[in-house]
Structure 1
Amino acid sequence: MDEDYKLAKWLDNSMNEAELSQFKASDHYVVFEKIKKYSSQLETNSFDQDKMLAEVLVAPKEKTKIIPLYKTWVFRMAACIVLLLSLTFVLKTNVTATEIAQNGQKKSFELPDNSEVVLNSGSEIVYKKWNWDNNRKLNLNGEAYFKVTKGKTFEVATPLGKVTILGTQFNVKSRESRFDVTCYEGRVRVNYNNTEIIITKGMRVAFENNKKIIIPNTEFTQPKWINNEITFDKENLNTIIKEINRQYNIEIILKNTAENLLFTGTIPSNNLESALEIIDVTYHLQHKKVSDNKFILEPLNVKK
């Protein structure tokens, strides 16, 4: 603090002779002298206080922009409306419609273009209603019969293959490893793995486990299952049992049989006793009722 006081007096030229002699003898005097010398050579611009005040008084003032409260409310409302419309559009374009025929049931319905669909038991269809006329595509799991109105390409996708048509009547069945398509009118393009086949009225095509199955054409105008008759072409016993379970909404347990005979024929879907008797005769089995919706199939002459 004492050193600062001395420095201040020296800069102010208020030291007496004795103080000045003592200050010059200090170790820092040479440095202080250089600082004083060079700082005295610095010049600063003169400051005109009156001119500065005059410029401030005459300078144009910026107007404060005021947004009325009602305009802010309108902007917010418009933003909410735009957001709502955007959400509505996204939901509308992505929402899907689902049609299901439970086991023991059949279901008929129309698509947005008035195309008719009949779902067989244990089947499901999923599609988008939005922009349907320009994008007629649906997903099928199970079996369905279609009467398609003329228009743009109509596509049925299944886990096993795809069917594409322009306006026709056809049946598609996709069950586990079996894929069947029958055309009743018009032309149908069938895609299965890397195979593409075009079939016309009365023609049928079937695949199972990546192999094509030769089956006869049909003279009927619609599938027999619509009239309560299940048609099988070269199908094994396990497949037949599963189909009967779907049609009647029951459970059949198959016991002690290694029979692998392929069955071709028709079984009723509205008379369970007759259906079971056909299976009994064909495969040399006998059925036993366990409960109202449960049955056992076993070979004849099984010891009790």
Structure 2
Amino acid sequence: MEEKYELAKWLAGEMTEAELQAFQNTPDYATYVKIADYSSQLKAPDFDSDLLYQNTLSKAQKEPKVIPLYQSKWMKIAAVFVVLLGLTFFVKTTSTSTEIAENGKKTSFALPDHSQIVLNSGSEIEYKKWNWDNNRTLHLKGEAYFKVAHGKKFEVSTQLGTVTVLGTQFNVKARDNRFDVTCYEGRVKVVHNNHEVIITKGTSVTFDADTFEQQTVQNTKPEWTVNQIVFKKEKLQRILNELQRQYNCEIVLNANENLQLFSGTLPADNLKTALQIVSSTYHLKISKFETTKVILEDF
């Protein structure tokens, strides 16, 4: 109705400057101009004004047109259907799927393109299933191992950087301001802040604060997938943080600060053995050992 009112004002030349400018910006303005131009070239036939007046009065006195009840009912049903259809499309295109591996657990799942993912303990992945084949992007918190099916660009986003591939196998770990990426097959592009590097099979890169390191790896998949935790020049507190995630327990450290870095392997299926290795390396003792809580102290 508003559109017809504006059209009438325009034809009558009663629009203000602002209204005219807005009307000229509408998609149908060019069509209205053509119609007005063609109409101006037509010659209207002679007519009897009195007869027209009488016909108008006669039509005005007729009963108003009533829409049958059944038609009104179906129009309401159709309107509800359209709304529901719109809501369904909105939910489908904006909803996010989430996969979580709680502390002490690992979980495996497949993406819509059959790419395989294994989530390490204390990790989470979010992604959208809708239009996945054309937009293979997900967000990772923590650590995960990927076997990506061939297809369009596949991107893993983390708070510390992104990893982009086409079809390959790789591991991504983003924890405590440290970003580790290892390629086991194919090649991947890693972006961290303004640093970009492409790595190939058997190569690992680490971004830790302002440092960057690239290494060669011999294994064919992450050690944590076979219950081994490998550390390379790692700080004590980060080691304990990882053990807390793997065993779903609290580890309290009552000891002086130790800046020694640890490189080695700890078991992910035997907490006491893992703690004994850590204690021996850092000259600590286990003053309390329970399934849910451990206390480490200086000798």
Superposition TM-score, scaled by structure 2 size: 0.78
Give the one of 34, 59, 62 matched to 1:61: 59
Q: 1:194 corresponds to which letter in structure 2?
A: N
Q: 1:61 to 1:249 in 2, by over 3 A?
A: closer
Kindly state the Cα deviation for residue 179 of structure 1 after the two structures are TM-superposed: 0.5
Partner of 1:72: 72
Superposition TM-score, scaled by structure 1 size: 0.77
Matched, 1:183 2:183: yes
- Whether the aligned pair in 2 keeps the contact of 1:215 and 1:233 (CA below 8 Å) is no
Matched, 1:294 2:270: no
SS of equivalent to 1:258: coil
Partner of 1:167: 167
Q: 1:174 to 1:57 in 2, by over 3 A?
A: closer
For structure 1, the 5+ residue unaligned runs are 1-51
- Whether the aligned pair in 1 keeps the contact of 2:96 and 2:126 (CA below 8 Å) is yes
The CA deviation string for residues 121-155 of structure 1, in whole angstroms up to 9 with x for no partner, is: 00001111111111111110000000000011111
| Separation in structure 2 between the aligned mates of residue 293 and residue 171 of structure 1, nearest angstrom | 29
SS of equivalent to 2:216: coil
- What is the number of residues matched between the two proteins? 246
Q: 2:240 corresponds to which letter in structure 1?
A: I
Aligned positions of 1:147-158 closer than 5 A: 147-158=147-158
Aligned positions of 1:29-48 closer than 5 A: none
The CA deviation string for residues 5-32 of structure 1, in whole angstroms up to 9 with x for no partner, is: xxxxxxxxxxxxxxxxxxxxxxxxxxxx
Partner of 1:207: 207
Matched, 1:274 2:273: yes
Kindly state the Cα deviation for residue 243 of structure 1 after the two structures are TM-superposed: 0.3
Q: 1:197 to 1:181 in 2, by over 3 A?
A: same
Q: 1:71 to 1:271 in 2, by over 3 A?
A: same
SS of equivalent to 1:61: helix
The CA deviation string for residues 260-283 of structure 1, in whole angstroms up to 9 with x for no partner, is: 111111111001121011101211
Q: 1:250 corresponds to which letter in structure 2?
A: C
The CA deviation string for residues 183-221 of structure 1, in whole angstroms up to 9 with x for no partner, is: 000110111001111111011111111321x25311111
Q: 1:57 to 1:122 in 2, by over 3 A?
A: closer
Kindly state the Cα deviation for residue 56 of structure 1 after the two structures are TM-superposed: 5.5
SS of equivalent to 1:159: coil
The CA deviation string for residues 212-254 of structure 1, in whole angstroms up to 9 with x for no partner, is: 1x25311111000000000111110000000011101111111
- Whether the aligned pair in 1 keeps the contact of 2:203 and 2:214 (CA below 8 Å) is no
Q: 2:193 corresponds to which letter in structure 1?
A: N
Partner of 2:20: none
| Separation in structure 1 between the aligned mates of residue 148 and residue 218 of structure 2, nearest angstrom | 20
RMSD: 1.8
| Separation in structure 2 between the aligned mates of residue 57 and residue 186 of structure 1, nearest angstrom | 83
| Separation in structure 1 between the aligned mates of residue 96 and residue 165 of structure 2, nearest angstrom | 22
| Separation in structure 1 between the aligned mates of residue 162 and residue 225 of structure 2, nearest angstrom | 22
Q: Percent identity?
A: 55
| Separation in structure 2 between the aligned mates of residue 215 and residue 107 of structure 1, nearest angstrom | 28
- Whether the aligned pair in 2 keeps the contact of 1:97 and 1:128 (CA below 8 Å) is yes
Partner of 1:256: 255
Partner of 2:23: none
Q: 1:254 to 1:215 in 2, by over 3 A?
A: farther
Partner of 1:126: 126
Q: 2:143 corresponds to which letter in structure 1?
A: E
- Whether the aligned pair in 1 keeps the contact of 2:162 and 2:191 (CA below 8 Å) is yes
SS of equivalent to 1:77: helix
